[in-house]
A and B are shown apart, each in its own frame.
Chain A
Amino acid sequence: MSEPDIGNDQHSPELTIALELYDNAPCGSISFFKDGTIYAINQTMLTWLGYTREELVEQRTLPSLFRIGGQIFFETHFFPLIKMQGFVNEVYFDVVRKDNSIFHALINAREIPSKSRQKELFQATILDISDRWKYEKELLHAKRKAEADSKAKAEFLSTISHEIRTPLNTILGIGHLLHETPLNENQKEYARLLLHSSENLLSLVNNLLDLSKIEAQKVTLEQMPFHLGELLELMHETFSVRARAKGIQLDISIAKNVPKHLTGDPVKLNQILTNLIGNAIKFTKTGTVQLAVTVEQKKAETYQIHFSVSDTGIGIPPEKLEAIFQEFSQASYDVSVEFGGTGLGLTICQKLLELHQSKMEVKSTLGKGSTFSFSIWYTAADTPSPTKKAKKERRNLLILKDMDVLVVDDNPDNIFIATQYLDQWEVPYATAESGKKALDMVRKRSFDLILLDLQMPKMDGYETARKLRSLPLKTQPVIVAFSASAAGEVADLLEAAGIDDHLSKPFKPKDFMDTLLEHSSHRKKISADNVNLKPSVAASEGQKKKKTKAASEDTPNTVSFKIDRYAKMANNRPEYIKKFVLSTLDAFATYKQDFQNSVKTKDPEGFSNLIHKSTMSFYYIEADRLGSLLMACRDALQDDTADDGTFKKLAAECQAEFDTIIRGLTHIGET
């Protein structure tokens, strides 16, 4: 076989043209045998390479024109591919010219089919892609840089958000404390604004932290059994107060065929629903917010559960429907002015749904309302999730007085805030500024509960907890970690260190109290009956109470309520005490109304809401007996085995207690 002779006059004109095209085509062409030996090469390729035809044909192999890496690649990938599928397209090689310089090529190759020929023949088309190579390299570089930048940005955001939470903790804590001191109207408003703004700031920071974690791909889905009904019930409890305050109805309905126990990620679901319901309430002025949960489809033991949150709010203009899922975007500037918010919530929801391979659907009519819906696949859980009902034990502030708490934190601000609350609630406590000091103290004195900061220099909270757990103590204290991380992030570490619970900084007083109550109730279960028998004045360690004469002497029934706390907060100034008392009186009028309504409808939820709503007022005037009675009422309604007589009796006692308190407060208010 030899090279076709282009100048041969015996060729037909068509063949001459074809051969000329072959030789001067804008791409290189090399034909080769299966051992790689070059059989023919066109002029274009020779020009690119700088070789003469004689130097290559029958002298060199195709892979010998590549760099060594390319040669290995040719032998191990390229050639096997041609043999197996008859062709290979667009594989990149660096081709070495005669002067040892390199040009970048894409090579297509195929086996030339022939039955008659003895030797197998292959043909390669070579494209010079030096320009494309340059662009691709730049693109790749830009892409890698952008990805690295984005990752760095996410990490930076995550770090900064985390750092911001620590001073925010102090601001919020001080704000809450300030709010509870006697203030004039102006100051009260300032404190309210301060609190409101810091809470907004906190939610912004939390959102940023979430978003940056999702973007840094640090968020993964958990698989754990959970009780959907309880999750939704808790959500209802959380939002019904806010909804009622706006005069909106909040309905949550679960279809009967939705399995009670599911396996999946309840935390993410909670986050998505909280966001949607929060938004719905925020953007609705009148009407109803409704969450409907149904089964979309079922395959064996997996269920696709459909969640839909509808409102009768302001709605979203059609052209903005896409934009609302973008970061920092709300439907309009006015929206953010009027309703506030960061515009991150829906972005986070959407990303959390992406983790579930799901997507948010939204339908909306301007002025009429919106419906946000999504579906998630869950497996029906075989084993029921641990029920949280146990947590809803009867709580009473009195039992806190029997606790001995140790606060461990290297930051004096944090100690100050925590202990201010403990003072207020008359919880005996001690403090330690380091893990080492805490260990020393625990050796000397027995504590019921240790509030432990996780991030401390030298010995951190985990190490302190581990060492504590290894101490030969009669009874091990409850250890509650206290950190700027969310509990979910550090759950494994906490468990490994033997830490029982976690309180996220910054905390609201109610969270703090709930945590204390929960663990105190583990120690002692107090029934409604013996609450009254407890001395209502218990001296706490760091604090001697001054008795206010005005309060205890003038009130006809000292067991029902006391105004010592007001007196203390008002530094015993009568005009402030009076103000407190009058505003409490107003509140009690409403509570009584709520109570009577709930009695009429026999609605345990009404009682729950009332208990929730009245916690702080009851706390201030130490109306512990009434608090316990209300809880007993609710429990009697929830308890199917209890007879109606019990409830009636309890309700009557409540009514009497309300009357006593209102009479007493009125009396103080008038003096």
Chain B
Amino acid sequence: MTRQPFADLARQFNITISGKGSQPMLFAHGYGCDQNMWRFVSPHFEATHKTVLFDYIGAGKSDVSAYDPTTYSSLDAYADDVIAICDHLNLSNVIFVGHSVSSMIGVLAANKRSDLFSKLVLVGPSPRYINDEGYIGGFDRGSIDDLLEALDSNYLGWSTSMAPVIMGNPERPELGKELSNSFCQTDPEIAKNFARATFLSDNRDDLTKLKVPALVMQCSQDVIAPLEVGTYVAEQIPNSTLKILEATGHCPNLSAPEETVRTIQEFLKT
């Protein structure tokens, strides 16, 4: 790897560490948002674990200046970053919890450095989003182009409204004003590049190589990662448990945090 080491890694990845336990749980957000995706889930593990949250370079409050489109054109670079974070914080025996594309980033990281990880929790994983011969990924190539176009148009539509607006949110006072509309704000070019890296990836071969035990959490209705994909992932990973959630959609960590927490806790007991 020829990349420059991170000068101030903890700040650059906006790392947040909490929890009373000693075994680290590393929560990795997926494509679309940042570590806030775990806000209803990670606190439940603070009593028993050391929770580590971060934003990928280019997302959330990370150091955008460290973003390089060429480097981050494949998931490999993100996996290297996960390893760099573990090394920097001297983490070992790590429980990696990855949502969406981060599931595969976790698999790649664990294949590179199996010594770091004890368990992987994969929430809505997909090794390949585009259909292939004998494989159902859920999308055809045109859909991904459509997404990239949608991203373009959305940033057009958001040009005024997505600027961080200070807006009262009386129904959810716990969120605080500063958070309003600042979630998921990503530089349009970075968002598109991440979308490309995510949706054009094919990591099916990496699944069979995984030596770390993994939990595959599959929602009952998920446009992004349909049931067939979850089944496929569980079949390919040698030591895996498949759990189909009652929750629907792609973000059970947000739409069904209780079920998500319960399922992870059960897996960790095994």
Interface set of A (CB-CB < 8 Å, partner B): 34-36, 63, 67-73, 75-77, 79-81, 83-94, 106, 111, 113, 129, 136-137, 140
**Is there an interface contact between A80 and B184, defined as CB atoms closer than 8 Å?**
yes
**B109 CB to nearest A CB, Å:** 21
Q: Which residues of B contact A83 (CB under 8 A)?
A: 251, 254-255
Asked, given contacts A68-B143, A85-B175, whether A79 binds B248 with beta carbons under 8 Å apart, the answer is no
Nearest-neighbour CB distance to chain A for B162, whole angstroms, equals: 8
The one of A84, A89, A111 in contact with B171, judged by C-beta atoms closer than 8 angstroms, is A111
Q: In the assembled complex, how far is the CB of residue B58 from the closest CB belonging to chain A, in whole angstroms?
A: 15
Stretch of B25-33, B69-77, B112-120 contacting A (4+ beta carbons < 8 Å): B25-33
- Inter-subunit contact A35/B221 (CB<8 Å): yes
- What's the nearest-Cβ distance from chain B to residue A443, in Å? 41
**Set of chain A residues within 8 Å of B184, measured between Cβ atoms:** 77, 80-81
List 11 A–B pairs whose Cβ atoms lie within 8 Å, in order of A's numbering: A36-B248, A70-B146, A72-B150, A76-B100, A77-B33, A80-B183, A80-B251, A84-B37, A90-B161, A93-B150, A106-B157
The answer to whether B156 has its CB under 8 Å from any CB of chain A is yes
Q: Is the CB of A67 within 8 A of B146?
A: yes
One of A34, A92, A137 near B154 (C-beta < 8 A)? A92
User: How far is it, in angstroms, between the C-alpha of A143 and the C-alpha of B31 when the chains are bound?
Assistant: 30
Instruction: Kindly list 8 other residue pairs between chains A and B, CB separation below 8 angstroms, not including A76-B33, A106-B157.
Output: A36-B248, A68-B139, A69-B147, A72-B143, A76-B100, A80-B37, A89-B181, A91-B157
Q: Which residues on the A side are within 8 Å of B262 (C-beta)? A: none
Query: B249–A34 contact, CB under 8 A?
Result: yes
One of A34, A85, A140 near B183 (C-beta < 8 A): A85
A36 to B221, CA, bound (A): 10
Assess whether A75 is in contact with B251, with CB atoms less than 8 Å apart.
Answer: yes
Instruction: Compute how far the CA of A81 lies from the CA of B158 in the bound complex, rounded to whole angstroms.
Output: 14
Do residues B250 and A89 form an inter-chain contact, with CB atoms below 8 A?
no
Pairs of residues from A and B, 6 with the lowest C-beta to C-beta distance, nearest first: A92-B157, A69-B150, A76-B32, A69-B146, A35-B248, A69-B147
Q: How many A-B residue pairs have CB under 8 A?
A: 122
Q: Which of B100, B147, B171, B223 contacts A113 (CB 8 A)?
A: B171
Instruction: Give chain B nearest CB distance to A131 CB in angstroms.
Output: 14
B175 near A72: Cβ-Cβ < 8 Å: no
Chain B nearest CB from A144 CB (Å) reads 12
Q: Which residue of B has the minimal Cβ distance to A35? A: B248
Least distance between B37 CB and chain A CB atoms (Å): 6
Q: Are A91 and B183 in contact (CB under 8 A)?
A: no
Which of B150, B223, B248 makes the CB contact (< 8 A) with A67? B150
Verify A69–B148 contact, CB threshold 8 A: yes
Name which residue of chain A comes closest to B37, CB basis. Answer: A80
CB distance from B25 to the nearest CB of A (A): 20
A628 to chain B: closest CB distance in Å? 56
* Given A75-B249, A80-B251, A84-B183; A91-B143 close (CB under 8 Å): no
CA of A578 to CA of B125, assembled, Å: 97
Question: Which of B148, B199, B248, B249 has the most chain A CB atoms closer than 10 A to its own CB?
Answer: B249
- A76 touching B30, Cβ below 8 Å: yes
- What is the CA–CA distance of A34 and B175 in the complex, to the nearest angstrom? 20
Residue of B nearest to A64 (CB): B223
Contact of A85 among B37, B180, B223, B224 (CB under 8 A): B180
Contacts of B149 in A (CB 8 A): 69
Contact yes or no, B251 A85, CB < 8 A: no
Taken together as a complex, chains A and B put the C-alpha atoms of A111 and B165 apart, in Å, by 18
* A86→B171 CA distance, assembly (Å): 8
The distance from the CB of B63 to the nearest CB of chain A, in whole angstroms, is 21
Contact A86 B150 (CB under 8 A): no
Which residues on the B side are within 8 Å of A35 (C-beta)?
Answer: 221, 248-249, 255
Q: Which of A71, A129, A140 contacts B223 (CB 8 A)?
A: A71
Judged by a CB distance under 8 angstroms, whether B269 is at the interface is no
Please measure, in the bound complex, the distance between the C-alpha atom of A88 and the C-alpha atom of B180, giving whole angstroms. 9
Q: How far is the CB of A84 from chain B (nearest CB, A)?
A: 5
Query: Is B172 in contact with A85, judged by CB distance below 8 angstroms?
Result: yes
Question: A325 to nearest B CB, angstroms?
Answer: 29
- Bound form: Cα–Cα A68–B254 in Å: 22
B48 within 8 Å of A by Cβ? Answer: no
Quick check: B249 and A94 within 8 Å, CB to CB? no
Q: What are the residues of chain B within 8 A of A88 when measuring CB–CB?
A: 181
Chain B residues closer than 8 Å to A75, beta-carbon distance = 222-224, 249-251
Contacts of B223 in A (CB 8 A): 63, 71-72, 75
Contact status B147-A72, CB under 8 Å: yes
Cα–Cα distance between A329 and B88 once the two chains are bound (Å): 58
* B179 at interface, CB cutoff 8 A: yes
Residues of B within 8 A of A113 (CB): 171
**Interface pair B255/A79, CB less than 8 Å apart:** yes
Q: Find the residue from A63, A71, A106, A111 having the highest chain B CB count within 10 A.
A: A71
Complex Cα gap A319–B83 (Å): 62
* Complex alpha-carbon distance, A90 and B161, angstroms: 6
Interface presence of B11 (CB below 8 A): no
Chain A hits for B84, CB < 8 A: none
Let me know if B151 is at the binding interface, CB within 8 A. yes
Residue of B nearest to A120 (CB): B255
Residues of A within 8 A of B139 (CB): 68
Please indicate which of the listed interface residues A63, A77, A79, A137 has the most CB atoms of chain B within 10 Å of its own CB.
A77
Interface residues of B in 163-212 (CB under 8 A from A): 165, 169, 171-172, 175, 179-181, 183-184, 199
- CB pair A94 B251 closer than 8 Å: no
B131 within 8 Å of A (CB atoms): no
Contact residues in A for B22 (Cβ distance below 8 Å): none
Contact A84 B254 (CB under 8 A): yes
Which of B39, B153, B199 neighbours the largest number of chain A CB atoms within 10 Å of its CB?
A: B153
Contacts of B161 in A (CB 8 A): 89-91
Q: In the complex, A73 Cα to B31 Cα: how many Å?
A: 10
Q: How far is the CA of A129 from the CA of B175 in the complex (A)?
A: 31
Contact B143 A85 (CB under 8 A): no
Contacts of B146 in A (CB 8 A): 67-70
Contacting residues, chain B, for A129 (C-beta < 8 A) = 157
> In the complex, what residues of A have CB within 8 A of residue B147's CB?
68-69, 72-73
Nearest CB in chain B: distance from A32 CB, A:
11
Contact A92 B158 (CB under 8 A): yes
Q: How far is the CA of A140 from the CA of B165 in the complex (A)?
A: 23
* Closest beta carbon of chain A to B104's beta carbon, Å: 15
A123: min CB distance to chain B, Å: 13
Which B residues touch A68, using CB under 8 A?
139, 142-143, 146-147
Say whether B36 faces chain A, with CB atoms less than 8 Å apart: yes
A124 → chain B closest CB, angstroms: 15
Query: Which residues of B lie under 8 Å from residue A92 when comparing CB positions?
Result: 153-154, 156-158
* Interface contact A70-B171, CB-CB below 8 Å: no
Bound CA–CA A575/B146 (angstroms): 87
Q: Which residues of B are found within 8 Å of A86, using beta-carbon distances?
A: 169, 171-172, 175
Contacts of A34 in B (CB 8 A): 248-249, 255
- Which residues of A are found within 8 Å of B249, using beta-carbon distances? 34-36, 75, 79
* Complex Cα–Cα for A76 and B224 (A): 9
How many angstroms from the CA of A71 to the CA of B225 in the assembled complex?
12
Q: Which of A76, A87, A90, A111 contacts B250 (CB 8 A)?
A: A76
Chain B 214-249: CB-based contact to A (< 8 A → 1; otherwise 0)? 000000011110000000000000000000000011
A183 → chain B closest CB, angstroms: 62
A contact residues around B36 at 8 Å (CB): 84
Q: Is the CB of B156 within 8 A of A70?
A: no
B150 contact from A89, A94, A106, Cβ within 8 A: A94
Closest CB of chain B to A350's CB: distance in Å? 27
Q: How far is the CA of A87 from the CA of B39 in the complex (A)?
A: 16
Q: Which residues of A contact B180 (CB under 8 A)?
A: 85
Please report the C-alpha to C-alpha distance between residue A81 and residue B179 in the assembled complex, in whole angstroms. 11
Please name all residues of chain A whose beta carbon is closer than 8 Å to the beta carbon of B33 when the two chains form the complex: 76-77, 80-81, 84
A129 to B153, CA, bound (A): 13
Which of these, A80, A91, A93, contacts B32 with CB under 8 Å? A80
Complex interface: chain A residues within 8 A of B157 (CB): 90-92, 106, 129, 136
Distance between Cα atoms of A67 and B146 in the complex (Å)? 8
Task: Give Cα distance in the complex from A91 to B142, angstroms.
Answer: 22
| B224 nearest CB neighbor, chain A only | A75
Residue of B nearest to A76 (CB): B32
